[in-house]
């Protein structure tokens, strides 16, 4: 297996069965110092916990900040870590008209990797990427995955804000672990998956009373082998878990797939990250037996939805060298921009075989 980027060179189902037994690995030492608040209330975020290990934040393009911010602050219980206008260099980075965007960065109080950045691109011609898409419609980023100790309360609170779901909460067994899951559907085609461990229970930590920060991002793909090769061979990510899951119950699953398809077709999955102990991962799934449409052509900013994952790295040149070695041109060539609140960065973007946008950036300003 190739070495990850830091070296020189659902999971909705199965992943949770193994890792939820002891909780997800969290980079506690680095995360505890990830965010600090000054006397004037300004939050300073460190990238140390995510650098070369996983994605720091998921970027969501929204028509208006209000509705999604309300969900993430009241239903999820996240804090606003930074709010303001983007630098105009961000619009130039995306090759969009020169302007500033209203943004909100949300996460837990420690600023643990798995932040959510809401961006109002304000593009009149923008469309919603997953406005009418089902989980088996491939392309882009399907959902952000979280945990809770009270899925039913989260579901009720989300409905009060107008959110829906692909199915009611679904309980299922995997080995000695009993799980509950629901995939919430919100404004701008944004999906948030909630997992609860019913047996054995997880500790009743404060952040599990609502939603713990996102730890995984799901992508629905056409060809899992091709996608796995992209992440592992091209990017140098590590394979954390993979396999096929066949639901033993003859009933619709958490993706809303019909019972007859669920009972006869396995879900093929692979979970990857730059390193195996990453706090944030990517889960790619091929929902066999359900053939939908592809949304990859429109899964880019400024269209609305979950539009990218941002990975801080110590060497952008190393990322660029890997892409060049595999004859893959960046979707966005390396360029310098100001990415608030981190400061000046050098960044590039690449797209997965199914169009998910992955941004890799190296900080140019010394962290304080």
How high is the pLDDT of residue 70? 99
48: number of Cβ within 10 Å: 17
> Hey, where are the domains in the chain?
14-363
C-alpha Rg value of the chain to the nearest Å = 19
How high is the pLDDT of residue 312? 99
pTM: 0.90
How high is the pLDDT of residue 18? 42
Across 262-342, the runs of DSSP E, i.e. the strands, are 267-273, 281-287, 305-312, 332-339
Q: Pull the structure tokens for residue 72.
A: 């993430």
Q: Are strands 305-312 and 57-61 parallel, antiparallel or unpaired?
A: antiparallel
Q: Pull the structure tokens for residue 230.
A: 């992209």
* Interatomic CA distance for residues 37 and 214, integer angstroms: 22
* Interatomic CA distance for residues 352 and 14, integer angstroms: 23
14-363 fold: 2,3-Dihydroxybiphenyl 1,2-Dioxygenase; domain 1 (3.10.180)
3-state secondary structure 8-49: CCCCCCHHHHHHCCCCCCCCHHHHHCCEEECCCCCEEECCCC
Q: Pull the structure tokens for residue 338.
A: 């100001």
The string of DSSP letters for 122-136 reads --TT--BTTSS--TT
Question: Would you write out the chain's pLDDT as a tens digit for each of its 368 residues?
Answer: 333 343 323 344 444 444 443 343 333 333 333 565 544 444 578 899 999 999 999 999 999 999 999 999 999 999 999 999 999 999 999 999 999 999 999 999 999 999 999 999 999 999 999 999 999 999 999 999 999 999 999 999 999 999 999 999 999 877 688 999 999 999 999 999 999 999 999 999 999 999 999 999 999 999 999 999 999 999 999 999 999 988 777 889 999 999 999 889 999 999 999 999 999 999 999 999 999 999 999 999 999 999 999 999 999 999 999 999 999 999 999 999 999 999 999 999 999 999 999 999 999 987 64
How high is the pLDDT of residue 283? 98
């Amino acid at each position: 297996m190739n070495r990850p980027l830091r070296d020189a060179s659902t999971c909705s189902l199965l992943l949770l069965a193994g890792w939820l037994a002891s909780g997800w690995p969290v980079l506690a030492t680095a995360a505890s110092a990830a965010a600090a608040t000054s006397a004037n209330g300004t939050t300073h975020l460190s990238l140390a916990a995510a650098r070369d290990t996983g994605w720091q934040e998921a970027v969501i393009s929204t028509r208006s900040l209000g509705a999604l911010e309300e969900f993430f602050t009241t239903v999820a219980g996240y804090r606003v870590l930074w709010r303001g206008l983007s630098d105009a260099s961000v619009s130039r980075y995306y090759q969009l008209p020169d302007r500033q965007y209203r943004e909100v960065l949300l996460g837990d109080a420690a600023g643990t990797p798995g932040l959510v950045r809401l961006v109002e691109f304000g593009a009149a011609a923008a469309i919603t990427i997953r406005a009418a898409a089902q989980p088996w419609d491939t392309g882009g980023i399907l959902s952000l995955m979280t945990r809770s100790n009270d899925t039913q309360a989260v579901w009720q609170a989300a409905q009060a804000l107008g959110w829906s779901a692909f199915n009611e909460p679904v309980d299922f067994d995997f080995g000695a672990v009993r799980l509950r899951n629901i995939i919430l559907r919100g404004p701008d085609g944004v999906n948030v998956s909630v997992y609860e461990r019913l047996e054995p229970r997880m500790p009743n930590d404060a952040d599990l009373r609502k939603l713990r920060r996102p730890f995984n991002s799901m992508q629905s793909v056409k060809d899992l082998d091709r996608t796995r090769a992209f992440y592992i061979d091209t990017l140098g990510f590590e394979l954390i878990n993979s396999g096929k899951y066949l639901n033993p119950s003859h009933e619709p699953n958490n993706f809303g797939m019909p019972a007859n398809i669920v009972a006869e077709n396995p879900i093929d999955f692979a979970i990857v990250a730059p390193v195996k102990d990453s706090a944030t991962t990517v889960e790619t799934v091929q929902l066999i037996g359900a053939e939908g449409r592809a949304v990859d052509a429109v899964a880019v900013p400024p269209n609305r939805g979950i539009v990218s994952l941002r990975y801080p790295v110590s060497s952008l040149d190393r990322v660029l060298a890997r892409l060049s070695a595999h004859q893959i041109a960046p979707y966005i060539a390396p360029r310098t921009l100001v990415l608030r609140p981190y400061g000046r960065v050098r960044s590039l973007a690449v797209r997965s075989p199914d169009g998910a946008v992955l941004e890799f950036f190296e900080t140019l300003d010394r962290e304080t």
